[in-house]
A and B are shown apart, each in its own frame.
Chain A
Amino acid sequence: MNKNTLLYAGLIIFGLAGAFIFPAYKLQLSFLYILIVLAMTWDVQGGQMGYNTFGNILFFGIGMYICSSVQIGMFFDLGEWTDAGGEKTFVHTTPQFFQGLAVGLVMAAIIPTLIAGIIGYGILGLRGHYFAICTLALGIAAGEIAGGIEIIGAGQGMTVPVWPKDFGSNELSSEFFYYLSFGLAVTTFAVLRWAYSTRFGLVLNAIRDNEDKAESMGINTMRYKIIGWMVSAFFVGLAGGIMGHINGYIEPTEIAFAGPTFGVFMVLMAILGGKGTLWGPLVGAVIFHLFKEGFWTYFLGWQYVALGVLIVVIVVYFPEGLMGWLREKYPERFGEVIDEADRKAQVELK
């Protein structure tokens, strides 16, 4: 059995058994899986394609709102639900909850994907920092607009449907969403791993390296850019839908369209791990989550100060990330063949 198979098997066993080995950390682990999805999908744009986006948070928020709204709207009046606020006068029965959740998650995947396809044609024509600022504005505008729409609770936010008590305890609920988010993370990883190994991945890298040249070689770059963004939107939308349930509450600017938190987290995780690699964002997400939880627990109140410092330090001193650093140090492990004579010649030249 080769090393990679062992690694994958180990990770999957860890994930499957995690809910029972660390019952107290179930919520943290499901949160981690969501973060992994966010980091890996950000890397499709930021790392592989060279389009640094702040706007993937848009799909996260839309997915979150769509999932819950559909789930509620299928059985109750959405306006009355949000008016009632925290009062739980409406309770989903077990079949209603799961039917609603299934339809909600499907919609939470489809609608952000469509939106990415539509706006992608306009926005992905921008390059470099214009793209970055435009997507930053897009995410914040979405949050502000969601904060003004009455039916989804405006600035107050809305509660998500409560877990049906007659189906099982709250313990079962957190296990259910644990496996849902774990499944999403595994699927995302598998799909992206496959996609990077195909022509699609090569085209994305070609766009990153030199877009004009790729276009002059006959590649319809716009189509690939849009497809790439749609893939990201699909998984981020699903992650948003699940995150709404893990969190239990949706709020427009702090949770759903949270530019200064999740929107920056995903960039930071990918850069921390090493952007443009398959494993980098995953490793970055794990390290970042550990760091974040440590700070959020022991230095509560100072966490955003720490976050700001962390961003500056990583960006200024560590832009290649962990995988980039490892690659520099042990190129052989990454399948790069080094010609010793050539290397020596280069060193002497320097």
Chain B
Amino acid sequence: MDFLIFQAPMLMVQATMDGLVIGIIFALVAYGMALQWGVMNIINIAQGELVIMGGYIAYFLYIAGIHPAFGVLLSPIIMFFVGVGIYKLVINKVVDRDLFISILATFGISILAQQLMNFAFGADVVVADSGFGTLMMFDNSVVLPMSKLFSASVCIISAIILVAYMKRSKLGRAIRATAQNARAAKILGVDTEKVYAATFGINAALCGIAGACVAMTFTLHPYTGLPYTIRSFMIVIIAGLGNLPAVAVSGMGLGVFEEWSDYLLGTEFRIAAVFSLLVIILVYRRFKLARKREYLK
């Protein structure tokens, strides 16, 4: 058998390790998407642009001579306000409308954000070099950059903090109540408008953290946002809304799938593989449900 998959087992181990680590970053973005989808019932196509925007904040810290790792602290704060701003301008007008309206409106925001970032930051591919070393494993045949490990731990920690916050705090309770039944929450005195704004802000902040990690581990470019949206959408439909362990597992699974297809098919088909996988998963689920005369809701 002359398949690439059997030729270099160590490279496959490498791809798997990379995939697991970057999958955690995808899972964080997907958690933000699950949050806003569950609470506000909107699908945000501009999710990926929020990630890239957060990444540029870390990049500018790097340019200014500050270590980009501080980006994971600064960029969620800035992105929270960006998110609230986007909510106040556009999202609050589409919240209780048809889902397609929100898809199209956020598609518009995505095009707008891409173009504005292109003006502001230029069309070059940039990376914020973290200067962390690399970790050698298995007789130096598998390389794990410390920046990836750092990013993964940051994402795990922020997810844990968020879960605790959602469980304990008053705002978290209000968000969960709104997700269960917005009308009932309103009657019982929850300011749903504020809850929605906060949810979108938290989502943007999560994207900001993920973006800062992306800036350190991958590259940034104004037009590369859409794959992050599709990835998070895919993770959410596999894992379901509000199932955090499943989100983490399917995020890592997606990461591994991506690294493998990158290695086996070639880098030029990496994005194509992600997008095709989404189509395949949706069609598979549709046929599975059609046997019970149901459809994806």
Contacts and interface: CB of A to CB of B under 8 A. Distances in A.
B226 A147 contact: no
Given A137-B275, A141-B272, A305-B115, A315 B282 contact: no
A308 interface: yes
A127 B269 contact: no
A192 B112 CA distance: 34
How would you classify the secondary structure of chain A's contact residues: helix, strand, loop or mixed? Answer: helix
B111 A264 contact: yes
Contacts of A307: 108, 111
Interface string B98-138: 01110111011111111110000000000000000000000
How would you classify the secondary structure of chain B's contact residues: helix, strand, loop or mixed? Answer: helix
A130 interface: yes
Name the interface size band of chain B.
35 or more
Contact of B94 (A133, A140, A316): A316
Name the interface size band of chain A.
35 or more
Interface in A44-58: 52
B90 A316 contact: yes
B275 A312 contact: no
Nearest to A268: B104
A145 B115 contact: no
Given A129-B43, A312-B108, A137 B295 contact: no
A309 B266 contact: no
Interface stretch (B53-61, B67-75, B283-291): B283-291
A52 B103 CA distance: 10
A123 B283 contact: yes
A144 B269 contact: yes
Contacts of A154: 268
Interface string A128-141: 11101110111011
A7 B271 CA distance: 48
B230 A310 contact: no
A272 to B, nearest CB: 12
Nearest to B284: A122
Interface string A192-232: 00000000000000000000000000000000000000000
A125 B112 contact: no
13 contacts: A127-B297, A129-B100, A129-B103, A133-B278, A144-B268, A144-B269, A144-B271, A145-B272, A260-B111, A305-B116, A308-B108, A311-B107, A315-B108
Given A155-B268, A305-B115, A315-B101, 20 more contacts: A122-B283, A122-B287, A126-B296, A129-B99, A130-B237, A133-B278, A133-B282, A134-B279, A134-B283, A136-B230, A137-B275, A141-B279, A144-B269, A271-B104, A302-B115, A308-B108, A308-B113, A311-B105, A311-B107, A316-B105
The 6 closest A-B pairs by CB, nearest first: A308-B112, A311-B108, A141-B275, A144-B272, A308-B111, A312-B108
